[in-house]
Amino acid sequence: MTLLDSEVEKTRKPVPGVKPRPGWELPLVYLVVGLPVVGLVVGIVLATRHGGISITDAALALGFYLFTAFGITVGFHRFFTHQAFKTHRVLKIVLASAGMMALEGGVITWVADHRRHHAFADDEGDPHSPWRYGRSPFGLVRGLLWAHTGWLFDSEKSSARRWAPDLVADRDLIVLNKLFPLFAIASLGLPALIGYGVTGTAAGAFSAFVWGALVRILVVHHVTWSVNSLCHVIGERPFNTKDEASNVNWLAIVSLGESWHNLHHADPKCARHGVEKGQLDPSAALIKLFERTGLAWDVRWPTEQRLARIRKAA
Ligand SMILES: [Zn+2]
Ligand SMILES: [Zn+2]
């Protein structure tokens, strides 16, 4: 039986493991979501005026993209949320810091939300299911918008004590989580500082800020959010999951391997999400590099037996 959108709203039950979001957070969420959009508009104006983007700005955007996006995919997601590998304290701190510079919230907050997502995937309690408003075309469009960005403005947030007790017990992470404003300032300020160092002009610092900070943050955000929205709606589902998680191959490179989301939901602790031949997974490649250099161990690589267990029958 399919419920109408209004009925879906009415039948929503109270969610365990959430707490009210403090009022002061909301203006900050608007700022963090909105400012990068303004940055993109300014970037387009600058590029039109200057006939493109300078090598310095492109390198800064790419460099900071890789650093902060890997912080999310390898750090926040595969290491902190799912414990797909083990590492030293120093790399743990580097990964947490890199992820926080993506401006997707503190590491503990992010992990709490994401564990709740897995616990209730596409069901009551999932913080960002695109199926929240039912399966009608209008409900799905509304749900996609909710899963992509709307959920960030929800009046409730995941309880860290309930969803991330291991992280709450880690003093390093408590300190880093509290330093989130400093990471935000570094993420916004460092590209401008480097841009000024290279060009020696205020205009150079400004365009480095626009591309290396604002536009880069915009892309990191929307790629992460596309995994929450698109990777639960479109694409293939070769593995058995209890939810709608799907593989979206054209997002693989830019998402650093995170869009092999169907496999990820079928085997959340697996360090590699792109497990089939030809499925690019740059995050798994980085974890492999960590392993080879002694920075990571006890890595949960996929095994043929495990894959055979979760793969759908042909
Ligand atoms: Zn998911
Ligand atoms: Zn996950």
pLDDT at site 13: 64
In a domain, 271, yes or no: yes
pLDDT band at 70; cut points 50, 70, 90? very high
- Which ligand is in closest contact with the Cα of 120? 1
**How many angstroms separate the alpha carbon of residue 269 from the centre of ligand 2?**
8
pTM: 0.94
The verdict on residue 125 lying in a domain is: yes
Centroid of ligand 2 to alpha carbon of 133 (angstroms):
22
Question: Structure tokens of 118?
Answer: 């897995």
Tokens of 260: 């092999």
- Residue 17's pLDDT is 87
Residue 282 lies in a domain: yes
Residue 18 inside a domain? The answer is no
Ligand 1 centroid to residue 12 C-alpha, Å: 20
Q: In angstroms, what is the span from residue 308 Cα to ligand 1's centroid? A: 21
**What distance in angstroms lies between residue 82's CA and the mean position of ligand 2's atoms?**
7
How many structural domains comprise the chain? 1
Are 271 and 79 in contact, with CB atoms under 8 Å apart?
no
Question: How far is the centre of ligand 1, averaged over its atoms, from the C-alpha of 246 (Å)?
Answer: 8
Q: What is the pLDDT of residue 16?
A: 74
Q: Inform me whether the pLDDT recorded for 10 exceeds 80.
A: no
pLDDT at 12 over 70: no
Cα separation, 223 vs 251, whole angstroms: 8
As a whole number, the mean pLDDT across the chain is 94
Domain boundaries, position 244: 35-310
Residue 8: the pLDDT is 52
* Residues that place a CB less than 5 A from ion ligand 1: 245
**Ligand 2 centroid vs 296 CA: distance in angstroms?**
19
266 within a domain of the structure (yes/no): yes
**Is residue 15 very low, low, confident or very high in pLDDT (cuts 50, 70, 90)?**
confident
The bound ligand whose nearest atom lies closest to the alpha carbon of 228 is: 1
Q: Is residue 19, in this structure, part of any structural domain at all?
A: no
- Residue 1: the pLDDT is 34
Contact 91, 84 (CB under 8 A): no
pLDDT value of residue 252: 98
